[in-house]
Structures are given as C-alpha cells and as structure tokens.
Structure 1
Amino acid sequence: MSGLLDLVREDLRDFTGYKSARSESLQGGVWLNANESAWANPADAKATSRRYPDPQPAALRSALAGLYGCEESQLLIGRGSDEAIDLLVRALCNPGRDAVIVTPPVFGMYAVCARLQDAPVIEVPLRDGADGFVADLDAVAAMAVESNAKLVFLCSPSNPAGSAIPLAEIERLAERIEGKALLVVDEAYGEFSDLPSATTLQARQPNIAVLRTLSKAHALAAARIGVVIADAALIEVLRRCQAPYPVPTPCAELALAGLSPEALAETEKRVALIRSERARLQAALAGLPEVRHVYPSQGNYVLARFRDAESAFRSLLAAGVVVRDQRAAPQLGDALRITVGSPEQNDRVISALRRIEAAA
C-alpha cells in the first residue's frame, strides 16, 4: 500500500530498527545469545523471567486478532494505547513540520506525544449541542488539508465527552483526507458502545488505524496491553520503531488467560451490567438539583455539569469517592467525569451528592 507508506517519515521508510536476540528464528537447547542469566531469580516461582520475552507473543497476538476480527499481520501489541499513539506520531510526523489534529476536550496523550515529537498540535474543538459533544468532521477535514496534518485522532467513544461517531461519518472523513493523513480512531471504550468498530471500514479505507486496549472492559489496566490495528505494511513500520521487548512475559500470560472463553463470558456480563448501571446513574444524576446537565455516554463513565462543581467534588471525596475533575479541560469548567462502578459504588456516588442538597 505505497500511498499509505508515503505518509511515513522519509528517513524511516527503510529503517530496520534494532534486531534483538529474540527476533532471530534460531533453535537450540542452550541459549547463550542474549547475555541472560543461566539461573532463575529466587523470587521467580515459574522460572520464566530470566529470558527476554517474545517481542510479539504469538499466542497473545492470535487471541487478540480473533478478539478484534483482524489478521495477525494487521495488529501490533504495545504497552497500552499510549505506546501506540507515541509510535504513530514518531513514525509519521517530521519534527517541526507535520501536524497532529485533536478534538478537545479529549484524551490528553495525543497532544502530549505530538509535543514530545515537536509536531504542531491543531485543535478542532468538539461542539456542545443538544446531542452532547460532537466532532465537527467538516472542520477537521478542512483543517487537515490546510495544516498539512499527518495524523488525525478521533476518540470514539470520546473521553471524557462520552459521544461516539457513526461509522459513515468516519468513512467520509477518511475518504476526504486519503493520501494526506492517517485517521486514528481510538476505541478504548468500544466495548461499551452501541456502534460497531471502525476496523470494519479498513478494507475500503486503509488510511484508518484503530486503537484498542484490554485496560477498560477487560479489567487489565495494570498489564498494559494495547494494540493498534492498521494496514499490515504500516504495522511493520511501527514494529521497527518499537522498543525491542515491549510485552513482559507475565503481562502476556495474564492477558492470554484473560481472553479465555470463560473470562470473555464474564467480561461480557460485566459490560452489560456497566451499561445498565450507566443508565441508572445518568437518571439519578439528572434528578439532582445540584446537577445542571448530564451528557449521553457510550463509555463506562458519565460526564456531568454541576452548579457548584467544587462542592460536589469535595462531597464525593468526603464520602471516600474519587472522581475525575474536568474543570481544567476546555469547555468543561463546571464538569466532573464519574466512572460507572459497581451498583454499590454508584449508590455511594448518588448518596454523597444528595447530601449536598440536604446540607443546603
């Protein structure tokens, strides 16, 4: 897909990266090629950590490809979505020249990675309307062309706004910027959404890359397992830019166990419960006098505006409940983001906020 690879930095198109000991297909019974210890650490009960890990664990890669409905060649495993974001920016953006487009209020790592690469950050703010926060994709397309952007990041469902972007709109945007920029759709909260994945568009629009993670719905945040799904040629470029051993063996083993049929069945039940609890929490918040507005959400969180966000934040803290203060984010000077917890945890949120009214 030469047109897509034209988006890669010129100096990295033939970059071979670091060839680690584990990248060579060699067989043997005595491994003395990586300067590893001949003995396991006394604390290593499974005696597996003295060896460097497989850079892309085969069993895990296969399981993730099955989970997300893509070919293994289209998928790169990394340290959460954060590493995928960083790799995309570094591989595509020439410092000081190639811009990155973001749609605030949105996940902050897109801009952080861009600034670390000295890539100009172009903001096209979400529009706050009757249907909640929505992306102005016409403005995004126009700005991508005008600013010579190499990357356009869309978060769907959007964090913290909660809104999701219909696939038809994503496809139209990808068509408009084809040959000019890569459209990256961050689906960290995709399991909680009513909409299908943008991976279903990639056969027609190879300039779409999709980010997924096991941190949210699969409850494996500490394992730091995320993936980027894209055209196989682009995945190969990103792999050459990646650190030699990005997936620790204990994390890969935990992730693989977490993708067993039994674990996936339990995850599906929990996702259904969170979606049900999300609706209950939204309804309860909407009925509180202290809440000015509750936004629709396709994620595992609820964004709400408060008459006195400081009072609400402190009341929740006094009840032992920590939520995300969004008041420093653009357009969100009176807003808090509340993760949807267990029914008991959500009850504590509601009770704490009701106490504000009682104390007034």
Structure 2
Amino acid sequence: MSGVLELVRDDLRGFAGYSSARSARLDGEVWLNANESAWANPGDVQASCRRYPEPQPQELRERMAVLYGCAPEQLLIGRGSDEAIDLLVRALCVPGRDGVLCTPPVFGMYAVSARLQNAPLLEVPLRDTEAGLVPDIDAIIAAARQGNAKLVFLCSPSNPGGSSIPLAQVEQVATALHGQALVVVDEAYAEFADEPSATTLLSRHDNIAVLRTLSKAHALAAARIGCVIADAGLIAVLRTCQAPYPIPTPCSTLALEGLSDAALAKTRARITTVRSERERLRTALGNLPSVRRVHASDGNFLLVRFADAETAFQRLLAVGVVVRDQRAAPQLHDALRITLGTPEQNNRVLDALAALESAA
C-alpha cells in the first residue's frame, strides 16, 4: 500500500464494511432477499420506496462526475458535505492521536466531527487583512507538522469570511504535508466564485480531497446530496465506512432532475443574479453609517460588521428577516452574515437597515 491510502487508519485497511442486500450485483424478477415489503406504502404514489435504494446511484454518480470534472470512481455521494467530513475524520484519524486542523472563524462541522472522534483539534485562525479573512499558509503547515495533523480542512470560499484560497496555496499545503495529511478543500460555495476547483490538482496530488454539495447553488438543501472527490482508492475505503443506504431514492430522483440540462441552465442564470446582487448589496451596505465594514465575498453571502450588531439583528428580525448572528465566532464580535436573497428580499434588508439609520 502506498500513497494516500497510507493515511487511512491501520485498523480500517482491508475493512470490508457491511455487505447489504444491494451490494451484490444480482438479477431477478422476484426480490425476496432484503426483507422488504411486497406491497408499496399507501402514501407512496410512485411505488418507489418499498425497495432499498442503490447505495451509490450510478446515474447520479455519473452525472455529478461530469458536473465536477472527475471520474465516477473518484466520487462518493453522501448526505451533504457533513457526512463526507465525518467519514474522513473517522476513516483517517486514530482517536486521541491524529489531529484535525481548521481555520476559524469557519464552518463548525470540522470541529464537531473532530470532537466526536476524539481527534485533537488544531486551530490556525484566519488573518484579518484588508483583503478579508485569509489563511496563514505558513502557520497552517507549521501547526500541522507540529500537531500531527492527519486532516487539514481549507474552506474555499470560506464560510463566513467569503474569501477563496488560490490554488497555488492549496498546492503549497498539499506538497508540504505529502505523506502526513490529507488536505480537504471544502468548495460548498465554489459556483459563486472565479477560482478554479481544486479537483484540477488531483492528478498531481493524491493527498487532496474536494467537498461539493447540491445544497447551495443548486437549491437542493433538503435533498441532502453532497459528495467527496478524491483518489479512487480512498473513495473505496470511505464507502466501507458509510451507512448501507445513504441516498434515499426520492432524493436521488430529485437530484437527477435538478441536474438536467434545462435545470442547469436556470441555475447558471440564478448564479449570475446572485453575483450581481452580491455587489449591489455590498456597495449599498457599505454606504450605511452603521456599517463598519462589508467583507468581499466569493460566496452567496456577505459578512457585515456593524457599529451595533445587536440593534441591526433585532431590526431585521422585526421586519421578518432572519440573518446569521456570527458574534460568538472568533474575531467576529460585531458581525452578521447575510445570505443573498432575491432582489426583492435584498431590498427588504436595505430598507430595514436604512430605517434604522433614520431612527438613530
């Protein structure tokens, strides 16, 4: 065994996982091998739910591989990016020994998964610069080496900071930590950014993995469809650690419809709208006296710092607008994260905050 598979926990190498009734490739007309009901549920009008689903729906896997520019065997579908994060931590980190590195303020599931696995958490805070909240690459490499990190999570574009990480910096981390750690690039918001995907680095660096999701740009958050893209051997290991039937058939069907050519065309148009609204709202918010700073963003959200974040938060709530309070996060004591909505919804945000100005 060589390459990235050497990063897998010793006790999981060769682990076969659970062999479900759908694991074996069998053909037949009367299926009596999985203790399923012979009749559909009365509420199942499509009669599609009495059978267990494919563990990895092949048509969806192929469609997503085309979407993300990889081979199907390099892609594992899961229940959003959250499951992929959990699988990676469980498969690679020996409890109490192998560290997980992340860069706060950032998406909280990296730390949650590390804690559940009893993996030491290493935190290298983002640097607050004129360009925004950006990673300290040299510090990340040094902390990963010193803290025995097995996983390094880089969120690009960062949530909630909004900044993308240049691919040259991702490659720098992967090169420095080759043989020690897997560098996981979380690209949940990549559709809204200009930076190319880190999947373009996989052919040169087998210790890079990429997370993608249909929850954001593709508007399928409730379907819980995400994936991890990585070395095919590592993907096979992760599959053995995954639950037997992770993708419900209705969710798979919905995802396929949402990735049709017609649906993708509408999604691209909506992404263009979001990007335009992002700049409009950023400029308008930046002109409000109560706003200290609006961070540049490559995502579908803006991180906004207020002179009085509590008053702004409550004012928005009073008019029915719910935003994400970020004040408990490191470095963000004065910040709210505002997702880009429709132009009409964004106007509602601006009107509410403008009214706050006039009332002051």
Query: Shorter-chain TM-score: which interval?
Result: over 0.9
Q: Residue 116 of structure 1 corresponds to which residue in structure 2? A: 116
Taking structure 1 as the reference length, what is the TM-score of the superposition? 1.00
List per-residue Cα deviations over 1:224-276 (Å, max 9, x = no partner): 00000000000000000000000000000000000000000000000000000
Q: How does 1:1-360 map to 2 (within 5 A)?
A: 2-360=2-360
The AA in structure 2 aligned to 1:312 is A
CA RMSD in angstroms comes to 0.5
Contact 2:184–2:209 at 8 Å: present in 1 too?
yes
Identical counterparts, % of pairs: 70
TM-score (norm. length: structure 2): 1.00
Runs of 4+ in 1 over 2 A off after TM superposition: none
Secondary structure in 2 aligned to 1:302? strand
Give the Cα separation in 2 of the matches to 1:314 and 1:42. 46
* Deviation (angstroms), 1:14: 1.1
Matched residue type, 1:18:
Y
Displacement of 1:281 after TM fit?
0.5
Q: Secondary structure, in 3 states, of the residue corresponding to 1:61?
A: helix
Report SS of the residue matched to 1:54. Answer: coil
| Equivalent-residue separation in structure 1 for 2:289 and 2:5 (angstroms) | 54
Question: In structure 2, the residue corresponding to 1:43 is in which secondary structure?
Answer: coil
Contact 2:81 2:226 in 1 (8 A): yes
Q: Which amino acid aligns with 2:357?
A: E
Asked if the contact 2:126–2:136 (Cα under 8 Å) also holds between the matched residues in 1, the reply is yes
Instruction: Provide, for residues 8-61 of structure 1, a one-character-per-residue CA deviation record: whole Å limited to 9, x for no partner.
Output: 000001110000000100110000000000000000001010000000001100
Mapped to 2, the partners of 1:158 and 1:43 lie a distance apart of 42
Shift of 1:116: 0.2
CA distance in 2, matches of 1:130, 1:249: 47
Cα distance between partner residues in 2 of 1:325 and 1:63:
36
Shift of 1:125: 0.1
CA shift, 1:3, in A, is: 2.0
Amino acid at match of 2:253: E
User: How far off is 1:305 after superposition?
Assistant: 0.4
Quote the Cα distance in structure 1 between the aligned partners of 2:149 and 2:241: 21
Cα drift, residue 2 of structure 1: 1.5
Give the partner amino acid of 2:252: A
Give the whole-Å Cα distance in 2 for the aligned partners of 1:302 and 1:234.
35
Would the aligned equivalents of 2:3 and 2:206 in 1 still touch at CA under 8 Å? no
Q: CA deviation at 1:284?
A: 0.5
CA contact (8 A) 2:162 2:298 kept: yes
Deviations 1:132-190 (A, max 9, x none): 10000110011111111100000000000000000111111110000000000000000
Shift of the alpha carbon at 1:356?
1.0
Unaligned runs of 5+ in 2: none
**Structure 1 runs not aligned, ≥5 long:** none
